[in-house]
Structure 1
Amino acid sequence: MNIDFTAVLAVLSIVTGVIWGAYVLLLKVKNKDQENTEGKGDTTKDKSAKDKTTKEASKKEPLLVEFSRFLFPVFMVVLVVRGFLVEPFQIPSGSMLPTLEAGDYILVNKFSYGLRSPLGYFKIIDLGQPERGDVIVFRYPENPKIDYIKRVVGVPGDRLKYVNKVLYINDEPMTIKALQPYAKDPRFMELQEELGEVTHNVLQNPYESNMPIGEITIPENKYFVFGDNRDNSRDSRYWGFVPDENLKGRAFMIWLHKKEGEWPSQWPRIGTIIE
């Protein structure tokens, strides 16, 4: 089951804020009514006793209000950080090898491509667009409840094709050179690709035929993405473009690596900057 924790946090913040705020407002109205109904003949001693009683009553908050007063600022802080600044994600598969491995926990910059509402995901402020080579997290176009991570290879206006496992952008082949067999699985070859200003490594299976793409032009507000594990990635070659409204942010760092039954494994991966 896929749970949108940001949406859950937003709802919890609203609910606890409304409960706490309504109680404070009700208390103020009640105290004002008591002040208006006080007799003019009350002695100073009587007024002091009433004030004391009112203060003691205000301290005895219902349990639900007490919990809301405590949890509301907590939910709000986490919502602001997770919804607008940085959000953690876990890598579930090997489609981004060798850059990202299954078991990597990454951090995603949520404001790289604009501030978006935690509910509805509409853009509030435009702060930038993805560039070729960015590793992005987005809502899977065929099922927006699922988050995907891939690398941007085509931006709006680009003419792109993929032939014989070579990527062409605007008729220019992207430079790619073989490095060595992949250390963790010698069936794959590790190669270095220059994608604009970004140099990164990819995997190819020399024994598996590629899925060619005839020339296409990337529409406005759409992006074309590949997995770095080129022969083992379900990406734009299969389901098409990523709309701008599906973007969640840019992946920038591995903060933990943990596989089931291990805690943690591969210490050197922790703190790795994603390029």
Structure 2
Amino acid sequence: MANPSFSTSRHPTAPDPWLAVNYALIFPGFGQLYSRYWWKGGSLVAIAIASIIYCIWSIFGAHGNTVHGFWAAGWLVVLYSFSILDAYRGTQANYGQRITVPQGRKDVWYAVFLSQVLPGLGHLYIQQAIPGGLWLLAGLLTAWLANQQPLLAPIPPAIWAFSCYHVYRNFPGQSRRTSTAIALLILGLFITRLVLGNTPNWIDQNFIQSIVPSESMLPTLQVGDRLFVRPSPRYIPQRGDIVVFEPPEALRAMLPPASQENLFVKRIIGKPSETVAVTGGQVLINEVALSEDYVRSPAAYEWGPATVPPNQYFVLGDNRNESGDSHVWGYLPAEQILGRGYKIYWPPDRIQPLPGGRSRP
């Protein structure tokens, strides 16, 4: 069988279609900028950035619509796909030509493209089975390890980038001189994959998701409402804030084992050093009636007066007579509070921001 022939370029000055595709894989519009379609490339980059910002704001912003954020994410997939296809076609004499795998001669940039998809594929394409298998194993193994340990997140992008560089440098007939094209490519690839790889960790660090487990916060929150919470060590709860917290010891002792790790949702009523009383269906703070327009019905129980200890809070559910809260199990220590619930992000018909700090004596 004849050995395959190899090609490193089409023409010294002509844009290479698979190099354009490689750039487009990094970010929409980069392939067009490489081919000197400045307006088209710049427009695609700007649209992609605006779409990403809108997507993030819609999903995580208090006033954003989560459904719109998902639509924006879908639009980004379409834009990304169009950018790749257009980057390839823009280098062809016939713009309508479909993307085709290089026939006959092996193509260096197609090998790099395969390595962008998965480390080692480019090496297998040029019949370097041992390096290809090693790169493939390294890519899959480090991706799995990074998923288990977030501190290892930079390693998989580095594996992907160096796999592309290695197949470029070891491509048969390829010049040993470092190319600006491959240098920019692996830099862009590393940065893009590092950002994408760290996105789940960034979300976990900056947002907590909580599901309302009971009817204790009716009518403000319904069973099954999904909330976004911003955890912050600098957060100081204010009266009226809807807070998500881990159960304190007194509440944990009242729960079945299966529910002891659940998160709970209540409203801040009394702050440290304030005197709280519940009498005649009203909440009194320092003997002044609290104005509350969110409760389902007035409390049918008596409690207090008592002074809230330092670094602790008195919390109640809006459905006063169906809520296991501070009038049942005591005060909520500040260290148990994860943050303020600021948005119902799901289901679609319930998406809305959650106000905070509205109650006042």
TM range (shorter): 0.5 to 0.7
Structural mapping, 1:7-46, within 5 Å? none
**Structure 2 gap segments, 5+ residues each:** 1-127, 154-195, 253-259, 357-361
Cα drift, residue 100 of structure 1: 0.6
Match status 1:87 vs 2:87: no
Partner residue in 2 for 1:271: 352
Partner residue in 2 for 1:77: 199
CA RMSD in angstroms, aligned pairs only: 2.7
- Pick from 267, 273, 284 the counterpart of residue 157 of structure 1: 273
- Pick from 272, 283, 286 the counterpart of residue 167 of structure 1: 283
Partner residue in 1 for 2:294: 201
Secondary structure of 1:79's match?
helix
Secondary structure of 2:352's match?
coil
Match status 1:102 vs 2:178: no
Partner residue in 2 for 1:137: 244
Question: CA separation in 2, counterparts of 1:224 and 1:245?
Answer: 14
Question: CA separation in 2, counterparts of 1:62 and 1:110?
Answer: 35
Partner residue in 2 for 1:5: none
Question: Percent identity between the aligned chains?
Answer: 29
- Pick from 320, 337, 343 the counterpart of residue 253 of structure 1: 343
Cα drift, residue 57 of structure 1: 7.7
Q: Is the 8 A contact 2:344 2:352 kept in 1?
A: yes
Cα drift, residue 66 of structure 1: 4.3
Q: Is the 8 A contact 1:89 1:106 kept in 2?
A: yes
**Structure 1 gap segments, 5+ residues each:** 1-51, 115-126, 176-192, 194-199, 258-263
Match status 1:244 vs 2:325: no
Q: Is the 8 A contact 1:254 1:271 kept in 2?
A: yes
Match status 1:59 vs 2:135: yes
Q: Is the 8 A contact 2:235 2:339 kept in 1?
A: no
Cα drift, residue 80 of structure 1: 3.2
Cα drift, residue 166 of structure 1: 0.5
Cα drift, residue 222 of structure 1: 0.5
Cα drift, residue 62 of structure 1: 5.3
Greater per-residue strand proportion: 1
Q: Is the 8 A contact 1:136 1:250 kept in 2?
A: yes
Q: Is the 8 A contact 1:254 1:274 kept in 2?
A: no
Cα drift, residue 146 of structure 1: 2.1
Note closer, same or farther for the CA distance 1:104–1:65 as it changes in structure 2 (3 Å cut).
same
Cα drift, residue 226 of structure 1: 0.3
Question: CA separation in 2, counterparts of 1:57 and 1:96?
Answer: 56
Structural mapping, 1:120-135, within 5 Å? 127-135=234-242
Higher relative contact order (CA 8 A, sep 6+): 1
Cα drift, residue 77 of structure 1: 3.4
Greater per-residue helix proportion: 2
Question: CA separation in 2, counterparts of 1:67 and 1:53?
Answer: 21
Partner residue in 2 for 1:123: none
TM-score, with structure 1 as normaliser: 0.56
Higher CA-based Rg: 2
Question: CA separation in 2, counterparts of 1:210 and 1:150?
Answer: 18
Note closer, same or farther for the CA distance 1:54–1:63 as it changes in structure 2 (3 Å cut).
closer
Question: CA separation in 1, counterparts of 2:223 and 2:238?
Answer: 25
Question: CA separation in 2, counterparts of 1:75 and 1:161?
Answer: 50
